[in-house]
């Protein structure tokens, strides 16, 4: 996958498996498997792929990413990482959850912090500054052990919402 002009994606990475019925919007299986670019190009409601014991949820409409209640519902017994990177609007950030509870959130827009909560976590030490797509992708590896290439090269099952 190439990072290029207009790079804009977001999602949630959840430890273990996720029951799609617990996602906002009552999604149903669209019986289709596509690459991650296709999930964002259409956009689909959700794309889901399991990689290395983690469920990658592509979330073009921000139904679950950074939604603390939704993340708690699907990750109440594990870890989860919400992330966003948008090179066109220069918005980059992540939120880290443990057992459904938000521990750390930081989002930058145009070089300024626009949302921050929780104490800085050790994994942020020596991460590439300023907060950018490189920072977000580095946090993916440090927190989940999975890199963006792992999720970016996976095939995603498409889920569409009833509401």
Instruction: Please determine, for residue 107, whether its predicted confidence score (pLDDT) is greater than 50.
Output: yes
Q: Which H helix or E strand runs over 74?
A: helix 68-74
Instruction: Please tell me the predicted confidence (pLDDT) of residue 111.
Output: 82
Helices (H) and strands (E) in the chain, counts: 4, 9
Tens digits of residue pLDDT in 126-157: 888 778 888 899 999 999 999 989 999 999 99
pLDDT single digits (tens) 7-62: 688 999 999 999 998 999 989 999 999 999 999 988 789 999 999 999 999 999 99
Tokens of 8: 């804009």
Averaged pLDDT, 57-77: 93
């Amino acid at each position: 996958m190439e990072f290029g002009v207009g790079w804009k994606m977001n999602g949630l990475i959840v430890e273990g498996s996720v029951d799609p019925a617990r996602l906002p919007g009552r999604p149903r299986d669209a019986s289709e498997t596509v690459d991650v670019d296709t999930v964002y190009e259409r956009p689909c409601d959700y794309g889901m792929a399991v990689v290395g014991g983690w469920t990658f949820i592509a979330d073009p409409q921000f139904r679950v990413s950074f939604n603390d209640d939704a993340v708690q519902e699907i990750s109440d017994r594990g870890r989860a990482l919400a992330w966003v990177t948008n090179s066109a609007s220069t918005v980059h950030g992540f939120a880290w959850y443990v057992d459904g509870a938000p521990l750390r959130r930081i989002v930058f827009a145009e070089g300024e912090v626009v949302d921050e909560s929780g104490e800085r976590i050790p994994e942020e030490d020596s991460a590439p500054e300023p907060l950018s797509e490189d920072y977000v992708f580095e946090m993916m590896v440090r927190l989940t052990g999975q890199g963006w290439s792992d999720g970016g090269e996976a095939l995603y099952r498409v889920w569409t919402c009833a509401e």
